Amino acid sequence: MRVLGSLAAAFAVALTWVGSAAAQDDTARQLPHPGQAVYRANCAACHDNPEQTRSPAKSTLGSMSYQVLSFALTKGKMQAQAAALSEADRGNLINYLTGRSTATLDAWSKPMMCGASRIPVDLKPTPSISTFGFDARNTRTLTARQAGLTTAQLSKLDLAWAIAFPDATMIRAQPAVVGNTLFLPVAEASAMYAFDVSDRTKPCIKWIYNSPGGAPLRSSPGFGVIADGRSVLAFSGLDSTVHVVDAATGKAIWTKNVAAYSYSLTTGTPRVLKDRIIVPVSQFEIMQAADNAVTCCTNHGFVLSLDPKTGDQQWRYDTMPDAQPIRDRGDGKMLYGPSGAPIWNSPVVDEARGLVFFGTGEANSPPAHHNTNALIAIRLSDGKEVWSHQATANDIFNAGCGPKPRPNQFNCVSDTVYRDVDFGASLIRGKLKDGREMVFAGQKSGTVWAMHPDTGKVIWRRDIGTGAPNGGIHWGIAYKDDTVFVPVAQIGRPLPGGEPIDPGLQRGMYAVDARTGAIKWHYTVMPDCANGRDKKAPRCDRNYGFSGAPTIVDGAIIQGSLDGRLFALDLKTGREIWTFDTLRDYATLNGVPGKGGSIDAASIVAVNGLLLSGSGYGMFGQAPGNVLLAFKPK
């Protein structure tokens, strides 16, 4: 965005020029919307080119809520670009995009509130999903008993119901699940909903937690019982606020803003333990640094341990020292470094070893610190680093820069492999049938890693292509029966000076032997642009891979595609046993118009005989949507 002068003043002058009130009305109808010029001058360069800039498309912005756009412009990712816009300019811009002038009230939820008999939250059952990876090992596996579904039933599913959320463009978070209660945050609603699904045909809402100040939510929730016996949910907002809520009532216990730098961001799911809450912190300086007006680059990722009762900090681990001036960047201003190593994924905790494992992202400025694109283990007791393994060195990456920056791009550097190959997928602490334990990781480079948990020594690696900024291996992997299940969004291109890519490697799902790294089987996903899908799924001929985190239920693995399809594959063979196209409109239980879209991030769970999936992910030029879908056996 480039900043515009006062359009409101110009608009007023134009109206003054018109003589009569009737003429003024007629002229006003002919003039462009006052927000149109604001958009063209400040926003169009990115949002009219969403795939190249990794921004939401203009049409996606139009489906967002007023409060989400207002937050982005004043406190969120667009605050720097919108700093010189007046309040009137911001209001006109949002009205131009959405047609709304105020935030939409959540009126749909009132008729869905539970009756007195279903309002109490039963927290006695063992949670089936308590963190991003479901269990303490992050395996993303549910048994038939936990899900209420067998493999045979998963091959014969029908749509049971759909719930839609107004003014939403994505369902990016998965719920925590305890008994028959789903704790689901909806980012653009700025709310956490406790859904009761004890009646498979008639879900209802037990309570709603609204984010203070209306800040959008971001992470999935972690669930746990803390030392004083309370069952709590911990999750994060787009404003880097950690929320800890009583799971029984939805009442806030405490909130804490954990941002330490100008572009700090919380994405990974907090891990709730008896005596601490582990919070990973990322940053989005990567999206800002190509702007010469930004001082680059000063942010880096870190991990916090917070007291679950109060939110007080117990310790903090930083992926690197604070950035210092390196050199004149060419215009009399200083370039800073090191920076980067954001932590996008959700840590896995090994309480027996007393270790926390996680992966990091790329560098944003030189020198590329050895903890960028790295797998790291730190001590649970005090946050001290135990080991670190850098998977890809010298990956200095900023959106909009390129490997060969233009002469006037002062924050961009040329001494870089420029790959953007984060560890976005959360690590898994796998236990083999022979008793050995390994830490498994998936990288956006398309590489699967197996590490020794005590030393960080590489046991094996398996390259499945070269990956891409959006994956490669993106949001998650899963583990069961000595097998790592790896969804791949893109195979990528041959690297300069590298080996040719095996033509047998295709986008889809890979079953990798956890003992050796050998590929057991591969399911190839093919594009589908027929029957009007090309109009609903942008670039359906290219955006159709598996980017979201998979879910194992009994003997099947459930996976969503970037073009909005759901697949169930047999764990032993990779054979497709069920598929459903979510890219459609829906009549919903709550009366809100429903629309399916891309399936990305993590939103697929199962409980009480229902398979549940979000549909819609309006980022990176993908198809927006706003529905939670439930499927039941025929």
For the record, the structure tokens of 209 come out as 């937690």
CATH number at residue 416: 2.40.10.480
Q: What is the DSSP letter of 623?
A: P
Q: Taking a C-beta distance cutoff of 8 angstroms, is the pair 212, 126 a contact?
A: no
Q: Write out pLDDT tens, residues 474-497.
A: 999 999 999 999 999 999 999 988
Residue of 249, 132, 253 whose CA lies nearest to 194: 249
Encoding tokens for residue 326?
């390196």
pTM above 0.75, yes or no: yes
Return the closest-CA partner of residue 484 out of 508, 515, 455. Answer: 515
Structural domain contains residue 434: no
CA distance 486 to 473: 7
Using the predicted structure, report yes or no on whether residue 254 has a pLDDT greater than 60.
yes
Kindly tell me if the per-residue pLDDT of 11 is higher than 60: no
Mutual orientation of helices 34-42 and 7-17 as an angle, nearest 10°?
A: 140
For residue 158, the tally of other CB atoms under 10 A from its CB is 9
CA distances to 66, 157, 213, 269, 617 from 188, in Å: 9, 29, 13, 17, 12
> In the listed set 369, 395, 420, which residue is the last one of a domain according to the structure?
420
**Backbone dihedral region for residue 373 (phi beyond 0: left; psi -120 to 50: alpha; all else: beta):** left
Top-confidence residue, 82 or 434: 434
- Percent helix, strand and coil across the chain, each rounded to 5? 15, 30, 55
What is the distance between the alpha carbons of residues 581 and 561, in angstroms, rounded to a whole number?
A: 10
Residue 239 phi/psi, 5-degree rounding, is: -90, 15
User: Would you say 303 and 343 are in contact if contact means Cβ atoms under 8 Å apart?
Assistant: yes
Residue type (1 letter), 22: A
More confident residue, 36 or 15: 36
Residue with tokens 């990305």: 600
Integer Cα distance of 181 and 69 in angstroms: 31
Q: Is residue 190 part of a domain?
A: no
Q: Is residue 534 part of a domain?
A: no
d(CA 382, CA 489): 37
The whole-angstrom separation of Cα 462 and Cα 118 is: 49
Whether the per-residue pLDDT at 10 is higher than 90: the answer is no
Answer whether residue 284 is part of any domain: yes
Which stretch of 3-7, 29-33, 307-311, 524-528 has the lowest confidence by average pLDDT?
Answer: 3-7
Q: Token pair 């003024």 is at which residue?
A: 24
Cβ within 8 Å of residue 502, ≥6 positions away: none
297 upstream amide cis, omega within 30 of 0 = yes
Q: Note the pLDDT tens digit of each residue in 97-116.
A: 777 666 665 789 999 999 99
What's the token pair of residue 542? Answer: 């290219």
In a domain, 564, yes or no: no
Structural contact between residues 15 and 28, judged by C-beta atoms closer than 8 angstroms: yes
211: in domain: no
E strands, 284-341, in order: 302-306, 313-318, 324-328, 334-337, 339-340
Least confident of 49-53, 374-378, 450-454, 528-532: 49-53
Question: Residue 289: which domain range?
Answer: 261-267+269-420
d(CA 516, CA 465): 18
Burial class (CB in 10 A: 0-12, 13-18, 19+), 107: exposed
- Residue predicted with more confidence, 538 or 55: 538
Structure letter (DSSP) for residue 353? T
Mean pLDDT for the chain overall? 91
What are the residues whose beta carbons fall under 8 Å from the beta carbon of 52, sequence distance 6 or more? none
pLDDT band at 20 (very low <50, low <70, confident <90, very high): very low
Is the CB of residue 631 less than 8 Å from the CB of residue 580?
yes
Domain for residue 605, yes or no?
Answer: no
Q: Which of 389, 405, 420 is the last residue of a domain?
A: 420
Query: Based on the structure, what is the number of domains in the chain?
Result: 2
Q: Is the pLDDT of residue 16 over 60?
A: no
Separation CA 150–CA 241 (nearest Å):
39
Q: Is residue 45 part of a domain?
A: yes
Cα distances from 574 to residues 45, 502, 582, in angstroms, run 42, 20, 21
β-bridge partners, 580: 566
Confidence category of residue 88, pLDDT binned at 50, 70, 90: low
Nearest to 446 by CA among 507, 377, 400, 363: 507
Lowest mean pLDDT segment, chosen from 52-66, 121-135, 399-413: 52-66
User: What digits encode the pLDDT tens for the residues 379-402?
Assistant: 999 999 999 999 999 999 999 999
Residue 166 predicted with pLDDT over 60: yes
Domain endpoint, select from 98, 121, 151: 98
